[in-house]
Chains A and B, each alone.
Chain A
Amino acid sequence: MSFISRGFKGRPRDKPRDARVPPGQYVVHDFPVLSAGPTPHPSLDAWTFSIEGEVDTAKRWTWAELRALPSETVTRDIHCVTKWSKLDTTWEGVSVDTLLDGVETAADYVMAFCDGGYTTNLPLEDLTGGKAWIAYAYDGKPLESQHGGPARLLVPHLYFWKSAKWVRGLRLMNEDTPGFWETYGYHMYGDPWLEQRYSGD
C-alpha cells in the first residue's frame, strides 16, 4: 500500500523481535476485548461445566466442584487471528486432562460450547497432554467477564478464538464440525505458526 498517515503510530505494538511471535502478528501490551454478543453474567450458583456427547458417561461439575479440582498456573503467549499477540500471559485453571480423566470416548473432535451461544471446534488431541485448561483466573485475579469469566477455555497454541470465552462444556464428536467463526470462514484448526486464519489457508 502506498498511503501513509503522516505521524500515525497506532496502538502500542512491537515489531516481532524473536522467534516467539508467529508470522503476521504484532505484540500488544493491553488486552483487547472482542465479542460476538452481549457479555453473559451467569449466576455461579447455577453454573456447571459439562463433558458430554460421544462419551460413555457424561460428566458435570458445579462451580464449587470445578474450583476444588487441582489447578495449574501457566504462563503462555496468546495469538489472536486479528493479528495481535500478547506475551507471557499468566492463567490459573484446571487442566482439560484432569477433566477428561476417566472419560471413555472414541471421539476425535470436540465442540466447546458457551453461555451466549458461542461454539468452537478443536481436535481432542489438542486439548490433552497439558495443552489446554479451563481458566478462571488471569494475572492472579478472577477472570473478568469481559475476558471470558467466570471461566474460559485456554488453548494457547491455537489462534485465540479457539480459547472460547464463557465456556460451559465440551461436547465430544466423531466428526469435525465447524463452530461459530469456523462456519463463517475461519480455519477449522487455526495454527498461528502456519497462519491458518481462514478456510483454505
Chain B
Amino acid sequence: MVGTALQRRLIWRTAEVVDLVDETPRVRSLVLAVPGWPGHQAGQHVDVRLTADDGYQTQRSYSIASPPSTDERLTLTIERLDDGEVSPYLAGELHAGDQVELRGPIGGYFVWAPAVGGPLLLVAGGSGLCPLMAMLRLRQAAGSTVPARLLYSSRSLDEVIYRDELNKLVAMENGLEVMLTLTRQQPPGWTGLHRRIDTDMLSAVAWPPAERPWTFICGPTPLVETAANALVNLGHEPARIKTERFGPTGG
C-alpha cells in the first residue's frame, strides 16, 4: 500500500520545454526540464499555471506520463480541445525553449508502484491513458513482472496515443497485455473490439475478482463511471478500483 506521505508545501516552478512529440494528430507530448524537481510517483499530476501579459491567470491539472526518474524531467501528454482555453496553447503554441509554470507532484491516491503488486488492470479512454502510461513505463523500467492488462478505448487507430511504444512493451512478453477498442472508426480487416467499454467487455478482459486486481480507470467521466460500476457489479472490491475523471475544466 502506498502510504500517506508527508510533504512539503508546493511551490510554483519554472519548467522549460525541451522537446515536443506529436503522438497523434490532436495529442502532443511536452518534455519539460524542471530544475529542482523532487521526483514523482506513477499516476501523480501537476498543476500548470498560465499567465497572460495583462496578468490574467488560469491553471489546469495534467497527469505526468513519464515514469519516476531522477533527471529533473517530466513529460505531459496533452490533447488539444478545439474550444479549450489552455490545451490549444500547451499542445499548439509552445515551442522548445518556452517556459511554463507548474507545481507538483500532486496526489497520493491514484498512484501505483511495483511494490503495490498486482495484477494490474488499467482502463483508459483517450488521453486518460497518460497516468496509466506512467505506471506501465515504471513497471517496465523497474523490471516488474506484475501481470498487467490495459483496456484502451480510442475513437480510431490513428488516435491511439503511444501506439508504437505499447506495441514494443507487449512484444517484450513480460506479462503485459493490451486490448484496444476502436469506437468510431476501424481499419479494414480489424477483428478487435469496436464498441464503447461495457460490462461484457470488462468481464472478458478483467481478472477474476478472486485475484484481487488493483484497477486504475482514467478518462472522460461517462467512461470512468461505466467501467467502475461494471467492475463493482462483477464483484470487484470498490476499494481496489481507483478512478480519475476528466471534468469539464474547459481544456
> Do A and B touch each other in the complex, judged by CB within 8 A?
yes
List A residues at the B interface (Cβ < 8 Å): 1, 3-11, 13, 15, 26, 33
The A interface, classified by DSSP as helix, strand, loop or mixed, is loop
Tell me if A8 and B50 are in contact (CB < 8 A): yes
In the complex, the chain B residue whose C-beta lies closest to that of A9 is: B52
Instruction: Tell me whether B69 is interfacial, beta carbon within 8 Å.
Output: no
Tell me if A5 and B56 are in contact (CB < 8 A): no
Q: Name the segment of B93-101, B145-153, B159-167, B210-218 touching the other chain.
A: B93-101
Instruction: Tell me whether B53 is interfacial, beta carbon within 8 Å.
Output: yes
Tell me if B53 and A4 are in contact (CB < 8 A): yes
CA distance A148 to B149 in the complex (A): 42
Which of B85, B99, B100, B248 is close to A10, meaning CB atoms less than 8 Å apart?
B85
CA distance A26 to B99 in the complex (A): 26
Tell me if A33 and B248 are in contact (CB < 8 A): yes
Which residues from B are CB-within-8-Å of A6?
98-99
Minimum Cβ distance to chain A for residue B92 (Å): 10
Tell me if B89 and A7 are in contact (CB < 8 A): yes
Show 18 residue pairs from A and B whose CB-CB distance is below 8 angstroms, ordered by the A residue.
A1-B55, A1-B57, A4-B51, A4-B53, A5-B50, A5-B89, A5-B99, A5-B100, A5-B101, A7-B93, A8-B52, A8-B89, A9-B52, A10-B50, A10-B52, A10-B56, A10-B85, A33-B248
Instruction: Tell me whether B14 is interfacial, beta carbon within 8 Å.
Output: yes
Tell me if B98 and A3 are in contact (CB < 8 A): no
Given the interface pairs A5-B101, A33-B248, the reply to whether A15 lies near B93 with Cβ below 8 Å is no
Which residues from B are CB-within-8-Å of A13?
56
In the complex, the chain B residue whose C-beta lies closest to that of A11 is: B85
Tell me if A8 and B93 are in contact (CB < 8 A): yes
In the complex, the chain A residue whose C-beta lies closest to that of B101 is: A3
CA distance A33 to B89 in the complex (A): 22
CA distance A5 to B14 in the complex (A): 10
Minimum Cβ distance to chain A for residue B143 (Å): 39
CA distance A4 to B54 in the complex (A): 9
User: Chain B, interface size: which category?
Assistant: 10 to 19
Minimum Cβ distance to chain B for residue A123 (Å): 33
Which of B51, B248, B250 is close to A5, meaning CB atoms less than 8 Å apart?
B51
In the complex, the chain B residue whose C-beta lies closest to that of A5 is: B50
In the complex, the chain B residue whose C-beta lies closest to that of A146 is: B248
Which residues from A are CB-within-8-Å of B57?
1
CA distance A1 to B54 in the complex (A): 10
Name the interface residues of B93-123: CB closer than 8 Å to any CB of A. 93, 98-101
Tell me if B58 and A11 are in contact (CB < 8 A): yes
CA distance A5 to B101 in the complex (A): 8
Tell me if B58 and A10 are in contact (CB < 8 A): yes
Which residues from B are CB-within-8-Å of A33?
248
In the complex, the chain B residue whose C-beta lies closest to that of A7 is: B93
Tell me if B51 and A3 are in contact (CB < 8 A): yes
Which residues from A are CB-within-8-Å of B53?
4
**Known A8-B93, A15-B54; 18 more pairs at CB < 8 Å:** A1-B51, A3-B99, A4-B51, A5-B51, A5-B99, A5-B100, A6-B98, A7-B89, A8-B50, A8-B51, A8-B52, A8-B89, A9-B89, A10-B52, A10-B58, A11-B85, A13-B56, A26-B56
Which residues from A are CB-within-8-Å of B55?
1
Which residues from B are CB-within-8-Å of A3?
14, 51, 99, 101
In the complex, the chain B residue whose C-beta lies closest to that of A8 is: B50
Minimum Cβ distance to chain B for residue A194 (Å): 21
Which residues from B are CB-within-8-Å of A9?
52, 89
In the complex, the chain B residue whose C-beta lies closest to that of A2 is: B51
Contact with A along B51-72 (1 / 0, CB 8 A): 1111111100000000000000
CA distance A8 to B85 in the complex (A): 9
> 7 closest A-B pairs (Cβ-Cβ)?
A5-B50, A8-B50, A11-B85, A10-B52, A10-B56, A7-B93, A5-B51
CA distance A26 to B55 in the complex (A): 11
CA distance A8 to B100 in the complex (A): 10
CA distance A3 to B54 in the complex (A): 11
